[in-house]
Structures are given as structure tokens and as C-alpha cells.
């Protein structure tokens, strides 16, 4: 027998997808997001999150909530808005205006707030996520690595006029949350790999995410080896 609460959650989340899509696309257009955080990125995260959720055996109502949260996960991203709270405030306001049930609003916000790499830096060791949080977090991180991740990394660096590489600027390997969020303009694009991207394979939560991350991680390692060979004049 279908759980009435799950059914209500499924219907509510599915009904909100169309207005959420319109809301996100208008937000992205208004904020002038570059191709590293555009609608195509959102679509990839949505599709991957649903794929991971299905492989994890999650039910239809949970997958619908995951789809909605993945749609909304980059609204007013702090890297562009400059505000660490803007995403939660904007998403909550949108869902409330749409008449979303309170428990759905809480679940979506909980998923979105668990996505960021910076937020995990501030968590204690052993911190665990719910399956729905894990699927969206893994999906977003998988889009940050591999060939797509390399392309996105350099797109983002170009947006903020970062140098590609400077051997005189060493990577900051043991960053706190505050350090990671600060002095972005002093970073180089290549340093973003050891500072964050090369760590993501070991931070995957789902079995499928871990498997997919292996190949994408290897792609980045191969790229970096070639990049440094060319920079040094050895290749």
C-alpha cells in the first residue's frame, strides 16, 4: 500500500518542477552566469542525481524531491552573489510562494545545504548524509571532475581573470572553510585541482558515485601531467 505522505511528497515535488525550472533559468539569465554554472550544468546534475538515486534503490517520491533540489541547487550561488545565505533564502522564498508543503521545503533546503564543498570542510569527521543528500552532492561533484570538470574549471577561472598557472603560487592543501571562501582572486586555475578537484574522488558517498569518479579522476591526473610537462618545456 502506498504511503499517503510519500504520495503527497511525490505529487508536490513533481508539480513544482516546471515553475522551478522557469525560476532557475530566469535567475541564471539575470545573474549572467558563465558556462561553468549554467543551465546545462544544472541539467547534468539533475540527470546524474536521478541516475545515482535509482541505482541506490531510492523510491519515486525521494527521486522527485532529489530532482527538485538539484534543479534549485545553484540559485544565487555564493561564488557569484557574494552571500553565503542567498541560496537558502531565495529557494525558501520561491517554494513558500509556490505553496510547497513545509516538510518538502525543509527537505529541499537540507539537500541543497549539503551540496557545497566549502560546507563539508567545516563538518566534523564522521558526518553522515541522508541518501537523498548524498545523491545530489555526488552528482554535483561528479560534474566538477573529469573532462567536463576540466572545462568548467578553466571557464570559471577565466570569468574571474585568474592566471592559468604560476609555479611561484603553491596550492593551499589543507584549507579551512573560511580560507577556501577567501582570497579567490589570488588563486590560479591549476591550483584548484589539488585544492579541491583531486580530493573529490575520495569524498563520494554513493557506490555509483565512487565508481564513476574513478575514471573521471584519472582523466584529470592525465591532463595535469601533460599540462605541467608542456609548461616546463619538456613536452
The per-residue pLDDT for range 219-229, each reduced to its tens digit, is 999 999 999 99
Could you tell me which residue, 174 or 146, shows the higher pLDDT? 146
Is residue 217 a contact partner of residue 210, using CB atoms and an 8 Å limit? Answer: no
The predicted structure's pLDDT at residue 69: 99
Average pLDDT over residues 71-93: 93
Q: Which of 31-45, 76-90, 166-180 has maximum average pLDDT?
A: 31-45
The predicted structure's pLDDT at residue 187: 82
The separation between CA 143 and the C-alpha centre of its own chain, rounded to angstroms, equals 7
Is residue 143 a contact partner of residue 152, using CB atoms and an 8 Å limit? Answer: yes
Domain 1-115 has what CATH class? mainly alpha
105, with CB counted inside 10 A (0-12, 13-18, 19+), is: middle
The predicted structure's pLDDT at residue 1: 41
pLDDT band at 31 (very low <50, low <70, confident <90, very high): confident
Q: Which residues fall within 8 angstroms of residue 115, CB to CB, at 6 or more apart?
A: 73, 136, 137, 140
pLDDT in tens, 91-127: 999 999 999 999 999 999 999 999 988 778 766 555 7
Average pLDDT score, the chain: 92
* Residue 46 in this model has a pLDDT that exceeds 70: yes
Average pLDDT over residues 118-147: 88
d(CA 98, CA 113): 20
d(CA 215, CA 222): 11
DSSP code at position 226: H
Domain range summary for the chain, segments of one domain joined by +: 1-115, 144-235
CATH number of 144-235: 3.30.1330.50, 2.30.29.30, 3.30.470.10, 1.20.58.1910? 1.20.58.1910
* 3-class secondary-structure state, position 163: strand
Is residue 127 a contact partner of residue 134, using CB atoms and an 8 Å limit? Answer: no
The separation between CA 173 and the C-alpha centre of its own chain, rounded to angstroms, equals 20
d(CA 137, CA 159): 24
Is residue 91 a contact partner of residue 72, using CB atoms and an 8 Å limit? Answer: yes
Structure pTM? Answer: 0.93
The predicted structure's pLDDT at residue 158: 95
Amino acid at each position: 500500500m502506498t504511503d499517503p505522505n510519500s504520495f503527497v511528497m511525490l505529487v508536490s515535488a513533481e508539480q513544482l518542477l516546471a515553475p522551478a525550472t522557469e525560476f532557475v533559468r530566469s535567475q541564471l539569465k539575470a545573474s549572467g552566469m558563465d558556462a561553468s554554472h549554467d543551465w546545462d550544468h544544472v541539467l547534468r546534475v539533475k540527470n546524474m542525481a536521478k541516475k545515482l538515486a535509482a541505482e541506490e534503490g531510492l523510491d519515486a517520491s525521494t527521486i522527485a524531491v532529489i530532482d527538485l533540489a538539484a534543479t534549485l541547487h545553484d540559485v544565487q550561488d555564493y561564488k557569484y552573489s557574494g552571500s553565503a545565505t542567498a541560496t537558502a533564502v531565495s529557494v525558501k522564498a520561491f517554494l513558500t510562494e509556490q505553496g510547497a508543503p513545509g516538510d518538502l521545503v525543509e527537505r529541499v533546503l537540507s539537500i541543497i545545504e549539503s551540496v557545497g564543498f566549502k560546507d563539508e570542510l567545516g563538518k566534523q569527521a564522521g558526518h553522515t548524509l541522508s541518501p537523498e543528500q548524498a545523491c545530489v552532492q555526488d552528482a554535483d561533484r561528479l560534474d566538477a571532475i573529469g573532462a567536463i570538470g576540466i572545462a568548467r574549471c578553466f571557464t570559471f577561472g577565466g570569468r574571474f581573470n585568474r592566471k592559468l598557472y604560476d609555479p611561484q603560487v603553491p596550492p593551499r592543501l589543507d584549507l579551512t572553510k573560511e580560507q577556501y571562501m577567501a582570497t579567490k582572486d589570488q588563486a590560479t586555475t591549476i591550483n584548484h585541482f589539488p585544492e579541491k578537484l583531486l580530493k573529490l574522488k575520495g569524498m563520494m558517498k554513493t557506490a555509483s558515485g565512487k565508481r564513476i569518479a574513478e575514471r573521471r579522476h584519472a582523466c584529470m591526473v592525465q591532463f595535469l601531467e601533460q599540462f605541467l610537462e608542456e609548461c616546463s618545456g619538456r613536452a
